[in-house]
Amino acid sequence: MEDNTITSIRYYLNSFTSDAEKLAIAVRSHWSIENSLHWVLDVSFSEDDCPVYKDNAPENLARLRQISLNLLSQEKTAKIGVKNKRLKAAWDNKYLAKVLGI
């Protein structure tokens, strides 16, 4: 049986007194939120495949994706995933209006 353990070292600067265990928990919980958000954006919006890299366009598109994700997540009448809600909103103007709250 292979040992697939990976060890890495990270250095953090902070302005508070804390023990290493509490700091590790805080850092891991922050990155778990970041990673789960990124995963949803990548699966639902194919964020990693976006070829836009010029000027402010990548950040602008990222903000639009986050706004879209928030709106789609708040819509509770359709019991389907975010990716399917996105497709449904593209195909059905009434559903799109419901997602947008208009």
5-39 pLDDT, tens digit per residue, is 888 887 777 776 767 787 777 777 776 766 677 77
In a domain, 82, yes or no: yes
Contact indicator for 75, 99 with CB cutoff of 8 Å:
yes
For residue 33, the model assigns a pLDDT of 64
For residue 34, the model assigns a pLDDT of 65
In a domain, 3, yes or no: no
Domain containing 55 equals 20-100
**Residue 95 scores a pLDDT above 90:** yes
- Looking at the structure of the chain, the number of domains it has is 1
Query: Taking CA 13 as the corner, what is the angle to CA 8 and CA 18, rounded to the nearest 5 degrees?
Result: 90
For residue 77, the model assigns a pLDDT of 92
Alpha-carbon distances of 78 from 32, 65, 97, rounded to whole Å: 27, 20, 13
In a domain, 9, yes or no: no
Q: Residue 99 burial (CB < 10 Å; 0-12/13-18/19+)?
A: buried
Distance, CA of 52 to CA of 6 (rounded, Å):
33
Q: Would you state the structure tokens that stand for residue 42, as one six-digit string?
A: 């990548």
In a domain, 67, yes or no: yes
In a domain, 77, yes or no: yes
69-91 pLDDT, tens digit per residue, is 999 999 999 999 989 999 999 99
In a domain, 14, yes or no: no
For residue 87, the model assigns a pLDDT of 94
Regarding pTM above 0.75, the answer is no
In a domain, 56, yes or no: yes
In a domain, 65, yes or no: yes
38-70 pLDDT, tens digit per residue, is 778 888 888 888 888 899 988 899 899 989 999
